[in-house]
Amino acid sequence: MNPKRRRLLAAGAAAALATASFANYVLAQTPEQVIRISARKFAFLPGEITLKQGVPVVLEFVAADVVMGFNAPDFKARADLIPGQVARVRLVPQQVGTFDFLCDIFCGDGHEGMSGKIHVVA
């Protein structure tokens, strides 16, 4: 290989490496907040969470005992919560206010009261 071509390849490799490092840097600098919520008969824990308007979060659910559902209609967000699995829901809250979420899979006698609140602040 002639030296000129070798230099070009090296420059290309360096540029690719720099791009990858930059992408990793950006990802590392902007981790999305993860909020862990456990669902058990008949409550979500925590039952109230506070989010910031426009800031994406990932809600990470574990179900302790039986299959349940997470449903936050104002965010058009829902997930099946299956024991032994982690369910993730990503939200970007757009509006300030207090919004309800609830269990939408019948899980026993206390199911009807199984709900929580999402507070979104500016």
Give me the residues that bind Cu ion (CB under 5 A), please.
Answer: 68, 103, 107, 111, 114
Q: Which of 109, 107, 97, 95 is nearest to 71 (CA)?
A: 107
Nearer to Cu ion, 57 or 68 (CB): 68
Q: How far is the CB of 37 from Cu ion (least distance, A)?
A: 14
Q: Write the CA distances from 115 to 22, 25, 59, integer angstroms.
A: 42, 38, 15
Smallest separation (angstroms) from Cu ion to the CB of 32: 27
Report the residue count for the chain: 122
The amino acid at residue 92 is V
CB of 52 to Cu ion, least distance (A): 28
Q: Report how far residue 60's alpha carbon sits from residue 46's, in angstroms, rounded to the nearest whole number.
A: 12
Q: Which is nearer to Cu ion, 64 or 96 (CB)?
A: 64
37 versus 68: smaller Cβ distance to Cu ion: 68
